[in-house]
Structure 1
């Protein structure tokens, strides 16, 4: 991924917003916007943003699960299966 061509001043974005949004919608890489020579924001298409958010959520769930394992907060699979079977029997009655 080559970000150097995707770094633009905010004035460029203001002058070319429709074109930038169309490019992003067509799958272009995110664009880094600068102000006074400093990176200030990243603009990307909504699909990529949502995908990133889903990935972060999955990673958080994974990290929490690993933390539970390290802390010993686990239940043997056989116990879980038995509880699920018991629940199913209760709802079938």
Structure 2
């Protein structure tokens, strides 16, 4: 479904909340809610929200790893595995 069809005024949200929730089962696209003609919020189903949060967490970990790598804060793999073998 196109994004334009997923834009609704806040009055639609107020009067169709139950229908919106039911529709997420077949159409998980986010719903954009407007107020006075301006986009004000996005409504997502819980699975899409959780997926988005997991993606953000993974991207944060990648960014942190890249920063540590650029700063030289890493250990060679052979050294790491040798250290782990000594601790067993």
Same-fold call, TM cutoff 0.5: yes
What corresponds to 2:52 in structure 1? 52
In structure 1, what is the Cα distance between the partners aligned to 2:25 and 2:8?
Answer: 18
In structure 1, what is the Cα distance between the partners aligned to 2:3 and 2:53?
Answer: 21
Q: Which structure 1 segments of 5+ residues have no match?
A: 89-93
Per the normalisation by structure 2, the TM-score is: 0.94
Q: CA RMSD in A?
A: 1.1
In structure 2, what is the Cα distance between the partners aligned to 1:79 and 1:48?
Answer: 40
Per the normalisation by structure 1, the TM-score is: 0.89
* Contact map agreement 2:28 2:48 (CA 8 A) in 1: no
Query: Which aligned runs of 4 or more in structure 1 are off by greater than 3 angstroms?
Result: none
Query: How many residues are treated as equivalent by the alignment?
Result: 88
Q: Which structure 2 segments of 5+ residues have no match?
A: none
* Contact map agreement 2:34 2:41 (CA 8 A) in 1: yes
